[in-house]
Structure 1
């Protein structure tokens, strides 16, 4: 991690506070540069010749320790790599592990379209958003250039997801690549024997390339050769063995490569890493056992340190594990996952429907909202800004108090609600008295567990006058 404080960036900015970047001060702009929420180009004075030296210095400071590589184009393009730290708690991980699921060139046309559709349409609602899959890996199983070419064309006609073109034979890869080069696929994979042809493909079509070797020395040598030839968008695959000592060796390689790139500053090997948990399917005849083992291998390398994966199983019991783990590991540990504060309408409430209160910690909010809506309780839900903390922590830390409740009532509650009774969570019972005094509202203490709201409503609503 090169930059530990915005002040290090600020020293090289114009320091005029001109506001042309959209921020009030250069220090604010420096903070957003560090967080990757602004780009150097958004500071017009910095783009002038006068600040050329400072601009180059800042660009060098902001360059991530691991090279960032983009696969695909447009809104669905995925960025991999670009990491600064070995451990999430040191800063955060920026680019989620990209999950590419395979199709292959021996599938018939209908089966191919069906599988592509499954990959493209899969989604899972999780803490306020739909999780989706990142792309499709097209594998040459037939070793027939014509079949591979036709398969790539059919996939490209069916989806606009990013692609990985998979074959160790550069001639086969090129047959597919020439039809989709403008979509910037990753070509997989150059080896010690085929590196020269893959180098030419990468340069000719201007696409990222994966390098494959079980030897770290060979892998490093390949990376240096490609970089010296002007190819910058490189992905490294040290070979994924899914079982036994081979799995342990693979784990060690991943850790060694990432440590070399970040801790040791070895730029010649500081590239995104590719894992292939799909290899688990080569060891099991039973698809259930294979899918479970694939999920285990994927979980290991989502945590340590795969930037992109090629997988096979679309079974819910493995796919959900893989995708939700990515989301969990790649949340920002510095900021709780939160929702916007405000008044939510659940069902079709009228002026006498109950008004519940909760915090804006995403997991709390979606649990409460789900428990209310799934039980068809027409109501209002007041979401208070507690800096993304849950009820118990927010009460203990002062982020949920009588003043916060008063402010939320005044800001969000309107004439649609004809009564002045609010239901607070059972874990916030200790602020009930003070809240009544400061707001003038009657406060009812609800259950500690929102799953018990239906029973509570039956016994306590409407309230006694």
Structure 2
């Protein structure tokens, strides 16, 4: 059962030292009860208190990490149902599935297509996170060869989809040096698959069977919770949930239910990220992208697609980027002076704010004109031009300060600044 803030406070040092970043131990205890800070932020807590508070201090949704040749994806550790309450911290990983029964050349070609797609969106490079290799051949050696073909083509992250422990072991051997996500353990194979995950120190998907249409959502979640508890006792703590639902309505209701149980009821057995397969619940590629968008918006931790197109990739990546930004902190660019079209000392100097959308709108217009110019970006705390002007964050004094601090005056031979039209008053 979750501890209240006062119950946690009784176990803290009560020194009000402020080393945790809060003015009092009680304030820290209240935040700890709300899962908004970690116990490690208090450097003076005793070992006895740490043991007593371990459950209260643990995040409601466990953090799962995949790694591959310097690439890393962290999923989980979320604390709110709605983004406006605080923010969503870790964006879901998006993967594309390839089957091991395809020719190796085709596997490499599909992998290269995913690996090579990067789009620049308001200064942020966006791309898919990795590949999911599915075991369809029935031959563990062939599965290992498929994993190796993917690893030879990309450094992106991996999901190994196989219910045969022998195939997973072959895939893990081919993915040496990487930490993939293993998919999946079920009621029949969980001991053998969990042993492979434990030995590889890899996270593991836990799946319930949805083949019986008479099984209710509550029964599936009860079975999933029982399975995660058994696997956790076996020694595998990094788990991902597959509740077995695939359609629009069913997946939305079930994944939301899991999120609410983890956050509102502190139900540890379902306090893990969720993996989804939108292609299995769709009748067309358009349906797959639509369902993937729903799942990105509503609590999926890993999304595995069956198709890749640049159009769908752009739509899903931009959607993810916009949902997983802090609503309390506008997307900003670094203040400074930016050259466009190779300007010289006689080129005009234009000024705008450091709100990213404003910056890229102005920069793209100047670049498309073909004329050289300097673009001065003033620090307006990420506000747009009119908002910053109304708030007193974009006035003559701040523009003059930006000119001085950026060194713009040393790049031009004149003393003229072009202001945004709406504030040139």
> CA offsets per residue over residues 343-402 of structure 1, 9 Å max, x none?
111122222211111000011101111111122221111111111000111112221122
For residues 131 and 253 of structure 1, the distance between their equivalents in structure 2, rounded to whole angstroms, comes to: 29
> Which residue is equivalent to 2:297?
303
- Rounded to whole Å, the distance in 2 between the matches of 1:383 and 1:28 is 34
Matched, 1:340 2:334: yes
Q: Give the distance between the partners of 1:150 and 1:40, measured in 2 at CA.
A: 44
Q: Structure 1 stretch 333-342 or stretch 170-179: which is displaced more?
A: 170-179
Cα shift at 1:56: 6.1
Query: Is 1:83–1:93's contact at 8 Å kept on the other side of the alignment?
Result: yes
152-161 or 96-105, which deviates more: 152-161
Q: 1:39 to 1:257 in 2, by over 3 A?
A: closer
Distance 1:352 1:98 in 2: 47
**How far did residue 411 of structure 1 move?**
2.1
TM superposition shift of 1:103: 1.5
Deviates more, 1:55-64 or 1:73-82: 55-64
Structure 1 residues 378 and 152: CA distance shift in structure 2, 3 A: same
**Separation of aligned partners in 2, 1:329 and 1:294:** 19
1:151 maps to which residue? 146
Give the TM-score taking structure 1 as reference length: 0.79
The 8 Å contact of residues 20 and 41 in structure 2, kept in 1 or not, is answered as: no
Higher percent of residues as helix: 1
Return closer, same or farther for 1:403/1:307 CA change in 2, 3 Å cut-off: same
Q: Are residues 1:173 and 2:174 paired?
A: no
In the alignment, which of 239, 242, 257 is matched to residue 234 of structure 1?
Answer: 239
Equivalences, count: 403
User: Quick one: distance in 2 between partners of 1:12 and 1:314?
Assistant: 54
| CA distance, structure 2, for counterparts of residue 42 and residue 121 of structure 1 | 40
Distance 1:354 1:12, change over 3 A: farther
Distance 1:182 1:380, change over 3 A: closer
1:90 aligns with 2:85: yes
CA distance in 2, matches of 1:186, 1:76: 14
Cα pair distance change 1:424/1:326, threshold 3 Å: same
Q: Aligned partners of 2:286, 2:325: CA distance in 1, in Å?
A: 25
TM-score (norm 2): 0.86
What CA deviation, in whole Å up to 9, does each residue of 1:85-128 have, x standing for no partner?
A: 11111111111110111121122122111111111121010011
Q: Distance in 2 between matches of 1:297 and 1:3?
A: 38
Query: Over alpha carbons, which structure has the higher Rg?
Result: 1
Relative to structure 1, the CA distance from residue 182 to residue 396 in structure 2 (aligned partners, 3 Å threshold; closer, same or farther) is same
8 Å Cα contact 2:75/2:92 also seen in 1:
yes
Classify 1:363/1:159 alpha carbon distance in 2 versus 1 (closer, same or farther; 3 Å).
same
CA positional deviation for 1:342:
1.3
1:189 aligns with 2:184: yes
**Could you list the runs of 5+ residues in structure 1 that have no partner in the other structure?**
18-24, 284-289, 431-465
Cα 1:174/1:14, change in 2 over 3 Å: farther
C-alpha displacement of 1:82: 1.1
User: 2:97 matched to which residue of 1?
Assistant: 102
Shift of 1:229: 1.6
Query: Which residue matches 1:277?
Result: 278
* Alignment check: 8 A CA contact 2:352 2:375 kept: yes
Cα-Cα RMSD: 3.1
In the alignment, is the contact (CA less than 8 A) between 2:293 and 2:319 conserved in 1?
A: yes
Q: Deviation at 1:61?
A: 5.8
Q: Deviations over 1:213-256 (max 9, x none)?
A: 132121111111111222110000112424xxxx3122111011
Query: How far apart, CA to CA, are the structure 1 residues paired with 2:335 and 2:412?
Result: 18
2:227 to 222, 227, 252: 222
Query: Which runs of 4 or more aligned residues in structure 1 lie more than 4 Å from their structure 2 counterparts after TM superposition?
Result: 1-4, 11-17, 28-34, 38-43, 53-62
1:80 to 54, 75, 85: 75
Please say if residues 278 and 305 of structure 2, whose CA atoms lie closer than 8 Å, have aligned partners that are also in contact. Answer: yes
SS in 1 for 2:159: strand
Q: Is the 8 A contact 1:235 1:271 kept in 2?
A: yes
Mapped contact 1:2–1:62 kept (Cα < 8 A): no
For the residue of structure 2 that corresponds to 1:310, the secondary structure is strand
Query: How many Å apart are 1:157 and its aligned residue?
Result: 2.6
Q: Displacement of 1:150 after TM fit?
A: 1.4
2:69–2:155 Cα contact (<8 Å) kept: no
Which residue of 1 is the match for residue 259 of structure 2?
258
Q: Within 1, Cα distance between the matches of 2:117 and 2:4?
A: 38
